[in-house]
Amino acid sequence: MDEEKRITVRLPAELHERLVARAKRERRSVNGEITHLLEAVLADLRVAGETS
């Protein structure tokens, strides 16, 4: 990443728990897992023809 931006996001507790479990399973930090998931979804949208 060339540049990083810091943001604060409020999540439902259940979603946070799911992210923590998934991050642990994938051996990533929660931040890394969120970044990975967002990048994957945005790539899928790009392939599907959506624009940002």
Closest to 34 (Cα-Cα) out of 46, 48, 19: 19
Using alpha carbons, select from 12, 8, 30, 13 the residue that is nearest to residue 21.
30
pTM of the model: 0.81
Q: How far apart are CA 29 and CA 38, in angstroms?
A: 14
Residue 46 confidence (pLDDT):
86
Tens digit of each residue's pLDDT (9 = 90 or more) over 16-31 = 999 999 999 999 999 9
Residues 13 and 2: beta-carbon distance below 8 Å:
no
Q: Give the contacts of 29 (CB within 8 A, at least 6 positions apart).
A: 23
pLDDT value at position 1?
55
